[in-house]
Amino acid sequence: MAKIPRPKDFYAGLLFVGFGVLAIIIARNYPLGTAARMGPGYFPRLLGILLIVLGAALSLTALRGQGPPLPGWKWRPVSIVLLSVVAFGLVLTHAGLVLSTIGLIIVASTASREFRLRESVISGILLAALSVGVFVIGLKLQLPIWPGSG
Amino acid sequence: MDVFGHLALGFGVALTPINLVYALVGVLVGTLIGVLPGIGPVATIAMLLPTTYGLQPVSALIMLAGIYYGAQYGGSTTSILINMPGETSSAVTCLDGHQMALKGEAGAALAVAALGSFFAGCVATVMIAAFSPPLSAVALKFGPAEYCSLMVLGLIGAVVLAHGTLLKAIAMVVLGLLLGIVGTDVNSGMARFAFDIPELIDGIGVVAVAMGLFGFAEIVSNLESTEKRAIVAAKVKGLWLTGKQLRQAAPAVLRGTALGSVLGLLPGGGAMLASFAAYTVEKKVAKDPSRFGKGAIEGVAGPESANNAGAQTSFIPLLTLGIPENAVMALMVGAMTIHNIQPGPQVMTSNPSLFWGLVASMWVGNLMLVVLNLPMIGIWIKLLQVPYRLLYPAILLFCGIGVYSTNNASFDVVMTAIFGFLGVIFVKLECEPAPLLLGFVLGPLMEENLRRAMLLSRGDPTVFLTRPISLAMLIVAAGLLLLIILPNFRKTRAAAFQEET
């Protein structure tokens, strides 16, 4: 296959087409209604079609001209950053704010190439104290501080 | 009531001790994140939005607004001292601001940025007070067809003025609209795109979308980049201007304020566009343009006044028409909605103390910024020396706490992570997230008005063209699109010709 001149636009276009197709498939059973009395399916389908048209047009224009290549994809920062926060959200109710915070800070810090364990532990403890002070005592958010207290 | 009566009412609200405290918190947090590169006002406001549930609506809005214009003050400090924009809207300030710092004029650069911003903030506050009542009076007469066309105009405008490929930006708007209508359909009560997940029946939260696309995606890209942040803070001495500098800077401040105020009103406008435009104008009107890039004080005074003016006047379309024009305003819609305020022309009449209190607080906040900022510069410089490897886990923590406390549920955190993942993909494909966020908050409103307009016209789509105001807005939108397509068209043709020869 020949190289695509503007890969960023090309794949962005495909992404939009994908979202459009997905929207139409999911919305296939929503009542369409008429133009005067639109049902819940009318607007979503309209947007779905629009997305497909725009995405396709974008991909087609990307077959001409010149553009930068796709940047590389590094799984390490993406997965560590996102999963550490998800884990934080999942354990917060059970483990309490203090332990979850220290855990999040240490795990998230490993995403950086300059990771230093000692530093992250200290930073985690300080931030745990700060967030208890600001969010639980100051702003009175309903967050458990210790395991079992929520 | 006249402008002064309104402002008196507003100051009565803004000067209550509790609102003064929230204004102070807002501008301080705003300055802080403005100084720190790698975190912007959108992510910060998204982070703090859930913590405002318990506050009075007016206090919440005062604090969140303070973050936005406070960030404009903070951004310039980083640009001037370490030649790196703390905020995108301060990027042009690097050009001459840092050069001034290298010449030992950092104090003057910081002073002119702060004083210019303050002047611009005062003018913009008066503009909001003067222009909002007539605009909202017009908007109150709008029917659903006009509203629909206005939203089309707003979204198209936002796309045209955003950078990047036009088709991509429009597609991002449409995707945003689609994500916005996830949840229960108000007319039929049917749950759409909810996949039987109870949390999705209420729709996707604006906090999850904004924080994922702006906060998380930004952190991931920062971690991937191999660039090292070199922190070479220039010495600051004598935070004041000489008479000559004052004479050079004053006209630039005036021009920047005027330009910023107008550009702030446009869809897609706001602080960033204003500062870039102001720099271009200063370079054009200067007697000796070669001074620019070598420490011309006008190159700091113009853009810094413009970005603050633009940040503030961008509240006008939100407060009078209910149409957000940039990502920060989209979040303000979210903030108003969680306090059960529907943004739009009726806010001013149904909730005058909220409206005028917010306006007056902007002036108060600007005063706090100019008084506090200059003496606090030493602290900001210290903060800049905190390495990113310590900073980003803390940002993640505050994001996590903010999202979690939206509903006290883990679901929102997962949702944010999904949008974070999507955000990283968008960064790789160079898709700007701001248009998506605008579409997202306007989605339900647009569907509702489209339905009503079509119901009233008995299904005749020409209603958008036969009503004069609606037609005028659509013509302007089409004109804007043509404007951007034409030069592109010419460029492509030029490139094609080059290939032939």
B182 touches chain A (CB under 8 A): no
Q: How far is CA B110 from CA B28, B41, B113, B163, B470, in A?
A: 17, 21, 5, 29, 46
B278 touches chain A (CB under 8 A): no
Is A143 domain-assigned? Answer: no
Same-domain check for residues A20 and A47: yes
Helix axes B434-456, B166-180, angle to 10 degrees: 60
Do A135 and B405 make contact, defined as CB atoms within 8 angstroms? yes
Task: Tell me what the mean pLDDT of segment A67-83 comes to.
Answer: 88
Torsion of CA B337, B322, B422, B484, to 10 degrees: 180
Is A67 domain-assigned? Answer: no
Nearest to A81 by CA among B239, B396, B384, B334: B396
Measured between CA atoms, the residue of chain B closest to residue A131 is B398
Interface of B with A in 54-73 (CB under 8 A): 54
Do A12 and B168 make contact, defined as CB atoms within 8 angstroms? yes
Do B392 and A114 make contact, defined as CB atoms within 8 angstroms? no
Is A145 domain-assigned? Answer: no
Which among A61, A87, A105 is the end of a domain?
Answer: A61
pLDDT at residue B372 in the model: 82
Same-domain check for residues A52 and A88: no
User: Which residues, 6+ apart, have CB-to-CB distance to B352 below 8 Å?
Assistant: B6, B9
Instruction: Supply φ then ψ for residue A33, to 5 degrees.
Output: 75, -165
From the CA of A40, how many Å to the nearest CA of chain B? 6
* pLDDT over 90 at A103, yes or no: yes
- Residue among A14, A21, A25, A47 with most chain B CBs within 10 A, to mutate: A47
pLDDT at residue A142 in the model: 82
From the CA of B214, how many Å to the nearest CA of chain A? 13
Note whether B37 and B85 are within 8 A (CB): yes
Max CA pair span of chain A: 66
Do B401 and A143 make contact, defined as CB atoms within 8 angstroms? yes
Give the count of beta carbons closer than 10 Å to the beta carbon of residue B317: 26
Same-domain check for residues A92 and A134: yes
Give the per-residue SS3 of A14-45.
Answer: HHHHHHHHHHHHHHHHCCCECCCCECCCHHHH
Measured between CA atoms, the residue of chain B closest to residue A36 is B459
Same-domain check for residues A57 and A100: no
Do A89 and B403 make contact, defined as CB atoms within 8 angstroms? yes
Q: How far apart are CA B278 and CA B257, in angstroms?
A: 9
Interface of A with B in 23-52 (CB under 8 A): 23, 26-27, 30-31, 34-40, 42-44, 47-48, 50-51
ipTM of the complex: 0.93
pLDDT at residue A135 in the model: 86
Tell me how many domains chain A contains: 2
- In terms of residues, how long is chain A? 150
**Mean pLDDT, contiguous 10-residue spans, chain B (501 residues):** 81 93 93 84 88 88 92 86 78 87 86 92 90 88 89 84 79 95 87 86 89 89 70 63 86 93 80 85 86 88 92 90 88 89 88 91 92 81 82 90 84 92 93 90 90 90 89 89 71 48 33
pLDDT at residue B497 in the model: 47
Same-domain check for residues A44 and A87: no
pLDDT at residue A52 in the model: 96
Q: Which two tokens stand for residue B211?
A: 């924080």
Give the count of beta carbons closer than 10 Å to the beta carbon of residue B407: 14
Classify B183 in phi/psi space as left (phi over 0), alpha (psi -120 to 50) or beta: left
Nearest to B113 by CA among B328, B263, B275, B284: B275
Q: How far apart are CA B142 and CA B476, in angstroms?
A: 17
pLDDT at residue B40 in the model: 82
For the four alpha carbons of A39, A44, A48 and A54, in that order, the dihedral sign comes to positive
Instruction: Supply φ then ψ for residue B292, to 5 degrees.
Output: -70, 140
Please report where in the chains the tokens 């300030």 appear, as a residue: B93
Same-domain check for residues A90 and A125: yes
Is A13 domain-assigned? Answer: yes
Same-domain check for residues A19 and A53: yes
Q: How far apart are CA B108 and CA A4, in angstroms?
A: 51
- Nearest CB to A109 within list B177, B389, B430: B389
Do A139 and B54 make contact, defined as CB atoms within 8 angstroms? yes
Residue pLDDT, tens place only, A116-135: 899 999 999 999 999 999 88
Note whether B193 and A27 are within 8 A (CB): yes
Q: Which domain holds residue A80?
A: 75-138
pLDDT at residue B498 in the model: 45
Is A147 domain-assigned? Answer: no
A and B: number of Cβ contacts within 8 A = 191
Chain A residues touching residue B450 (CB < 8 angstroms): 38, 43
Q: How far apart are CA B78 and CA B265, in angstroms?
A: 27
- Residue among B163, B386, B398, B404 with most chain A CBs within 10 A, to mutate: B404
Measured between CA atoms, the residue of chain B closest to residue A60 is B167
Alpha helix segments (H runs only) across chain A: 7-26, 42-61, 75-109, 117-131
Q: How far apart are CA B468 and CA B456, in angstroms?
A: 16
Measured between CA atoms, the residue of chain A closest to residue B226 is A113
Do B396 and A83 make contact, defined as CB atoms within 8 angstroms? no
Q: How far apart are CA B117 and CA B137, in angstroms?
A: 30
Measured between CA atoms, the residue of chain A closest to residue B453 is A36
β-pairing verdict for B183-184 and B191-192 = antiparallel
Is A129 domain-assigned? Answer: yes
Q: How far apart are CA B70 and CA A124, in angstroms?
A: 28
Is A109 domain-assigned? Answer: yes
Nearest to A106 by CA among A77, A132, A84, A74: A84
